[in-house]
Amino acid sequence: MILEIAQVDIKPGQEAEFEAGVAKAAQYFKRAKGCKSMSLQRSVEHPSRYRLFLTWETVENHTKDFYGSADWQEWRKLVAHTFDGSPSAEHLHETFKGF
């Protein structure tokens, strides 16, 4: 399994609109090939900063199957106008689980 963590900064005052867009877009991620889970977390210290956590079977499920697809384009239509700069993302794989 691959964990994608995307950091997204939102224009101040557009947080509720961004959250609503993410909720609407959940359907696109749910049906994406290899996407197993989706979660959005909001920073306590920086309330306009979010992290989107997605679990994929493979990196390619995100970078080749989903990125650029029609569903990805719909996702961007729902939320991109709220972005304050470009989101950053990275993919991780678990090497140790303590408990």
- What residues does each domain of the chain span? 2-92
Contact 89, 6 (CB under 8 A): yes
Element (H, E) at 6: strand 2-9
**Mean pLDDT for the stretch of residues 18-37:** 98
At 74, give phi and psi (nearest 5°): -65, -40
> What is the band of 36 on the pLDDT scale with cuts at 50, 70, 90?
very high
Predicted confidence at residue 54, as pLDDT, reads: 98
pTM of the model: 0.93
Predicted confidence at residue 92, as pLDDT, reads: 98
**Mean pLDDT for the stretch of residues 61-88:** 96
* Nearest alpha-carbon partner for 90 in 64, 59, 68: 59
CB neighbours of 16 closer than 8 A, spacing ≥ 6?
Answer: none
Contact 30, 22 (CB under 8 A): no
**Mean pLDDT for the stretch of residues 34-53:** 98
- CATH number belonging to domain 2-92: 3.30.70.100
